[in-house]
Amino acid sequence: MTQRAKKPGETDTPDRPVYQVEPWCVRETELRLDRLAQSESVFALSNGHVGLRGNLDEGEPHGLPGTYLNSFFEERPLPHAETAYGLPDEGQTVINVTNGKLIRLLVDDEPFDVRYGRLHHHERVLDLREGTLTRRVEWTSPAGKTVRITSVRMVSLTQRAIAAIRYTVEPVDDPVRVVAQSELVANEALPSSGKDPRASATLADPLVGEENVANGTKVLLVHRTRESGLRMAAGMTHDISGPESMAVDTESSPDVGRLTVATRLEPGESLCMTKYLAYGWSSRRSRPALHDQVVAALAGAQHTGWDGLLQEQHDYLDDFWCGADVEVDGDAEIQQAVRFGLFHILQAGARAERRMIPAKGLTGPGYDGHTFWDTETFVLPVLIYTHPQAAADALAWRHMTLPLACERAAQLGLTGAAFPWRTIRGQECSGYWPAGTAAFHINADIADAAVRYMDAVQDEEFEREIGLELLVATARMWRHLGHHDVEGVFRIDGVTGPDEYTAVVDNNVYTNLMARRNMQEAARLAMRHPEEADRLGVTTEEAASWRDAAAAMLVPYDERLGVHPQSEGFTNHARWDFPDTKPDQYPLLLNFPYFDLYRKQVVKQADLVLALHLCGEAFTAEQKARDFGYYEAITVRDSSLSAQTQAVIAAEVGHLDLAHDYLGETALLDLHDLNRNTRDGLHIASMAGAWSGLVAGFGGMRVEDGLLKFAPRLPGGISRLAFRMRYRGNRFMVTVTADEAVYELLEGRGLKFTHHGEEVTLADEPATLPIPQRETPEPPAQPAGREPAPRRLDPRTRDTRRA
C-alpha cells in the first residue's frame, strides 16, 4: 500500500496539532477546513456493517461525504492496455450509500454554515469508551442571531442495523425561529478522486430508486445498484421535544426523504431531535422483505430509546476494554494512538458478521473498499487476542468465498484455492498480476490466521466446519504450485512476496515458510478430524505429500553474506542508488519504472523481516540480528505496512529506541496524516501496528506450539507498559517496567507461558519476574533520508537525535 510523495519542504506533521493528546478520546477544538477530509476519517463511526464518515451534521462544507455498507458495491469495467488470459474484466467499488447523517438547520432563514457568520466555538470529541462522536458549536448567523448546537452521534455495536443522532439547538441571547431538516439523501455528488491509484473510483448515480415512503416522523428509501444488482434500504424515525408550538412535516422522493420541524425558541428553551437510522442490504431478499427488516430495526431502536442505546454501547465497550486495553506511560501520543487504533479495529469488525474487513474499514473509499492480505496478517491477530468472535467472522467470510477461490485456482491451472489479492465479494479485482495474482502468499496468510485463531480459542466447531476446509484447499494449491526438483528439494517459483518491489521471483523466503506451515497444519488437522477430512477427499497419501513438501521446503541462505536472501538470488542484485535518490522521488513506484525496481536490492515493505516475526522459529537469534541489519539498509517503507514489522523485530534484536521510532510511525500514521492520504480512510492495518509494536514488540509476545511466550523489554522513552489479552478462555494482564514484569490472571482457569524462556504457570496469584538485561547492539543504518522520526529528544541538545 503506497505512500504519497512529500513535496519539497513538506514536513511529516502539520504546523500545529489537529487533535488534543488525551488518553481516552480524540478532541478537535478548532475547525480546520484544510484538514476536514482527514477529520472525517478520524471521526468515522462504524460497527462493521454500517459506517458513517465524520461529516458535519449540516453536510457542508465537506471533504468527502461517505456512508458505507460492508460489501455493498457496484461493478465497473476493469480495462487493460493489453488483454491477457486470466486477467479480471470487472472491478468492484464500494459506493457511498444513502446519507442519513444530514440535519440541516435554518436560524431566522439563515442556513447554518460554518463558512458564514461567526463561529465562536467548535469542538468535536470521539469518546473511545462511550463509542460516541460529540460536537459542540456556538455560532452567530450573518443576521446576528446566536445559537448553541450540540449533536451526539453513534453507530450501535449491539443493534447491528442502527445508528442514532441526538441534535439539540438552543438560543443564546434572543428568541429565534429555527427550522431543522432531517434528511435521507441518495446519489450525493462526490468530489473527483483524481489520478491517485489509491483512491476510490468514483461512480456517478449508482443507486436506482425502488421505493420511497414518508409516514409521520418515519421515512424509508429502497434502492438497488445499476450493475451489481444489490438492494439496500435506509430508514429514519424521530423523537422530537421542544416548545408546544411545533410544525412537523415529512416528504419523500426517489432519492430524498425529509422530516422538517419548525418552531420558535425563547432563551432557555431548546429543540431536541433524536434521529434513529437503520440500514440493510441483500443480494437475494425482495424489496418488501428488506423494507420490513429496516422498519423492524427502527422499531427496536426506538423502543430501546436514546439512553438505552448509549448504555448498551457503554457496556459493550467496557467489556471490550477489559480484555484489550493497553496502557503506556512515558509517551502520551502513543497511549492515545493505540487506543484509537483498537477502537477503529473493533469498529471495522465487531458486527461484520461473515463479511470482510476492508483495508480502510468503513471509514472511506480508499483502495475501492477492498480487502487485502493485511487483514489476516495484521488485523486479525489483534482481534484474535482481544475480540475473537470478530476474527472468527472474518475467517468465516473467507470460507464463504472458497468456491470462488477454487474457480480462480482452476482458471490458473491449479488445484485447491487461489484467494484474490484484492476483492469485495470474493472475485479477483487486481488488474496487475505481478503484484496481484503472483502474490500467492495470501493463501498462507489466511491459513495462518485460521491456525492462530484455532490455537487461541480452541473452537472445535470452527475447526471442523471452517478451519479444516480452508487449510486443505490452500495446502492443495501449494502442493500443485510448487515442485520437487531433481535433488528432492521443494521449490515454489515465480511468485511475489509481501515486498512489491521484488516481483515474480523464485523461492521467496516468507512465502515458502508460510506455505510450509500451511501444509504442516493442514496435514495435522486432517489427522485430528478424519471424518471431515474424508468428506473433503483427503487421502493418507495426499496428507503425506503435504508433509513431505513441507519437510523439503527450500529456504535460501547466502553463506557469503551470512543472511537470508529475500528470495533466491536477491542478494546478487545490484543495490539501489540510494544516495542519488531525491527525497521527492519517494515513493519510488511513482517515479521509477517497475522493471528497474524489480532487478535491484530495494525493499518497499518488510518481507524477509516479516518472516522473522511470523515464522521466528525458523531462524536463530544470530540470524535474526544479521538479517534485520541487512534489510534495514535497503527498506524504504513506501508502504504503510512496513514500520510495524520493523518495530517488532527491532525490539526483538535489541534496538529498542529504533523500535520506538517505528512504533510512532505506524501508530500516528492517521492521527498525524503522515502520508497525506488519511482523507480516503484510515489505515486499519497500521492501526493494528500500534498494538503489535507494543505487545509483540516490547512485550515480546509470540505463540509457538500452543504456548504463549513473552520476552518484554522497554525502550528509554516508555517507563511502563501494561496490556490485556484473551487466550484459551483466560483474560489476563501483563505489566512491564524497566526491571520486572507482572503477570496477573483476571479471569479464567489459568495458563502456562514462558517469560524470557522460563516456563511459568499463572493461576490465582500474580507472577512477578525480573527482566534480564542485555547490551544494546550497534544501531543499523537506513537508506539516506528514510530514517524514522525519533520519538525522544536529546536532553543535552534538545534536537531530534536519538537520546
Other beta carbons within 10 angstroms of residue 142's beta carbon come to 12
Q: In whole angstroms, what is the distance from residue 14 CA to residue 106 CA? A: 34
Of the candidates 12, 5, 97, 15, the one whose C-alpha atom is nearest the C-alpha of residue 50 is 97
Q: In whole angstroms, what is the distance from residue 428 CA to residue 418 CA? A: 9
Check if the beta carbon of residue 511 is closer than 8 Å to that of residue 615. no
Q: In the annotation, is 312 catalytic? A: no
Dihedral of CA 192/195/199/204: which sign? positive
Grid cell of 692 as nine digits: 503489535
Q: In whole angstroms, what is the distance from residue 496 CA to residue 229 CA? A: 34
DSSP codes, 156-182: -SSSTTEEEEEEEEEESSS-EEEEEEE
Q: What angle do CA 471, 450, 466 make, to 5 degrees?
A: 65
Check if the beta carbon of residue 357 is closer than 8 Å to that of residue 371. yes
Dihedral of CA 585/432/369/409: which sign? negative
106 phi and psi angles, rounded to 5 deg: -115, 130
Grid cell of 148 as nine digits: 448553541
Q: Which of 500, 532, 542, 632 is catalytic?
A: 500
Place of cell 487461489: 418
Q: In whole angstroms, what is the distance from residue 347 CA to residue 370 CA? A: 17
Beta-strand (E) ranges in 471-604? 483-484, 490-491, 574-575, 600-601
Task: Name residue 304's amino acid.
Answer: T
Check if the beta carbon of residue 510 is closer than 8 Å to that of residue 498. yes
121 phi and psi angles, rounded to 5 deg: -150, 135
Query: Collapsing DSSP states into helix, strand and coil, what is residue 597?
Result: helix
Of the candidates 428, 424, 429, the one whose C-alpha atom is nearest the C-alpha of residue 71 is 424
Of the candidates 157, 151, 165, 101, the one whose C-alpha atom is nearest the C-alpha of residue 129 is 157
Catalytic positions: 500
